[in-house]
Chain A
Amino acid sequence: MLKNFFIFILFFLFSSLIIAENKIKPLNVKKIADGVYVHYGKHENIYEGSNIGDIANLGFIIGDESIAVIDTGGSHQVGEALKLAIKKISKKPIKYVINTHVHQDHIFGNTAFISDETLIYGHFNLKKALQERGSQYIRQVSEAGDKVKGTRIIFPHIIIAETSPDQVKKLSNEITIDLGNRKLLLTSHATAHTYSDASVFDLKTKTFFVGDLVSDERAPTMDGLVKNWIKVLNEIEKVDFKIMVPGHGKIQKDNTALKKTRTYLQVLYDDVIDALKKDMPAEKVIKIAAQTEKDKWILFDRVNPGNVVRTFMRYEWEY
């Protein structure tokens, strides 16, 4: 009798340990406008320590008939957690997933949203960008181990562009989707933060999801082209919005974060060009470029060096 009791207790403890570890909790989301919700990502390094890919801002918009999700997180688990959060608020079908760009923290939750009724939208370069980086990203994810198990690359189904009927000519870089009395304007931008940046504008509340084109608090990652990114910021600065949702950091009521991002990029560019004119060795440039911006950004020392490297590589041959 006692022996059976012992076995039962051990079995119960053991299995509840396993179940507790695997249970996914819904993400914390905040309502920022009528039918618009945002989850704030943590300012951490992706997959380091206990981080499972929750570092970017994710959002969703609820229309009369369906829901659109903007970015899905950095792992299958974050995607599932986001989906749970959405289901707590609305049972409407999630018909649209929009990835603002190629980076892991924005696309790797896509697996949680695969369904017959869901279409994934992305910049016309997004699929190409995922194909280029796919093996690198998957390697990184496999090294992160069990905690991000099930994370895979899912390509977009629909490109954010109007094309001629034969799909040969691109007619415009914008398309509109309708969630049921709720139109969203999706735009594929010119090369900026990456080669695949897209934005989402909710006409009803004038909420502008800009992906990583604008960053607040967290040091911006320059993975596209510096000067082109500044140009794109100059364009989106003119948009009449009520709320801007950057890829990282707090929501904005004006262009403050946009200007901060642009200032950083200009300083980065100026410092690298100055160093190239002086024929400074690469190691030194990486140490000193954009250091005047250091105290303004979180994770600066982890993010800035890569930005300097990529800017340096782009312009080295011109000096």
Chain B
Amino acid sequence: MYRYLFYIVFLLFSFVSVLQAEEEAYCSKSEECMEGRWLDLKESIFENKELKNGEGVIELSTPKRAPDGAFVPISFKTQKLKDNSISKVHLIIDMNPSPYSGTFKFSNNLDQIELATRIRLDAYSYVRVIAETQKGDYFMAANFVKASGGCAAPPLGDLAGMIANSGKMKIKVKNIEEKDGTAEAKIMISHPQFNGLQAHPVTTEMIPAYYVENIEVTYNDKVIMALESDISISQDPTFRFNFPMGNGGNLKITAKDTDGNLYSHSEKLALQGNKLKVASQQ
């Protein structure tokens, strides 16, 4: 008699465990799966290098829950290091189709780097910034962000119009009151950033990928910010970052996209008193 009871209990257990297994098939809901993915990424990008805790070196600001996966504002800030400086910042979004989302390079005459931009998040994921120093150490700050659908989200606007406007750029400059001698630039690049995962509304095929690959910003011919990136940067890539204003000069952006198009735009910045202004916007 107990034999039959055993069979029934066994069936119940297997039924329940099959249900559990089904739930974990979707990585986005499983911590184990996400941890596994990060470890794989870490190994392939950084090999056996140690990623130290970024506290005191680099700080990452992200919303806890982003209202729209296609436009998630993030920013990072770095601190001055003793006898060392940060040469690169790597941006990784674990659960995105292309997790290694960008590499930022900065000129080293700034004590504190501050940069803000907008990214796409395809699923709930850790967003990580890893500062690489001149001496070869790595420091990481990571935040978990709840947002999703950023990669499949349809482009905002009319497709033909977006393509026609690709490469148009705008530069704005603001002075940072608390930091003498430092200004903040906002650079905007009009570009659809088609990621190859968005369905065309009429043909229903995927719109072919077409996005900005490289951006370089120079001030008086010296590179102050450079970025290599791909599909995780939102439509109309926009960046705010600070730079030493010096005595004014020429701020120039050049960008290249996956079609090989080269775009550039520059503005003359002039010092008026102790404020830096865009000459053409006065």
Binding site for B on A (CB under 8 A): 2-3, 6-7, 10-11, 14, 128-129, 131-136, 139-140, 142-143, 145-146, 279, 281-283, 286, 302, 305-310, 313-314, 316-317
Contact A283:B63 (CB < 8 A) given known A7-B4, A136-B149: yes
Nearest chain A residue, comparing its CB with the CB of B29: A143
* Interface residue B266 (Cβ < 8 Å from any Cβ of A): no
| Shortest distance from the beta carbon of B203 to any chain A beta carbon, whole Å | 9
Nearest chain A residue, comparing its CB with the CB of B8: A10
Instruction: Report how far A286 CA is from B153 CA in the complex, Å.
Output: 19
Nearest chain A residue, comparing its CB with the CB of B62: A283
Contact A142:B26 (CB < 8 A) given known A310-B68, A314-B156: yes
Task: List chain A residues, Cβ under 8 A from B4.
Answer: 3, 6-7
The answer to whether B154 and A133 have CB atoms under 8 Å apart is yes
Contact A317:B68 (CB < 8 A) given known A6-B1, A136-B152, A283-B116: no
The answer to whether A128 and B202 have CB atoms under 8 Å apart is yes
* Interface residue B240 (Cβ < 8 Å from any Cβ of A): yes
Q: By CB atoms of chain B within 10 A, which of A134, A136, A281 has the most? A: A136
A contacts with B: majority SS = helix
**Residues of chain B at interface, number, CB under 8 A:** 43
CB under 8 Å from chain A, chain B span 217-273: 235-236, 238, 240
Q: By CB atoms of chain B within 10 A, which of A11, A129, A132, A314 has the most? A: A132
The answer to whether A131 and B199 have CB atoms under 8 Å apart is yes
Instruction: Report how far A286 CA is from B170 CA in the complex, Å.
Output: 22
The answer to whether B152 and A131 have CB atoms under 8 Å apart is no
The answer to whether B73 and A316 have CB atoms under 8 Å apart is no
Nearest chain A residue, comparing its CB with the CB of B204: A131
| Shortest distance from the beta carbon of B142 to any chain A beta carbon, whole Å | 18
The answer to whether A306 and B236 have CB atoms under 8 Å apart is no
Task: List chain A residues, Cβ under 8 A from B42.
Answer: none
The answer to whether A282 and B73 have CB atoms under 8 Å apart is yes
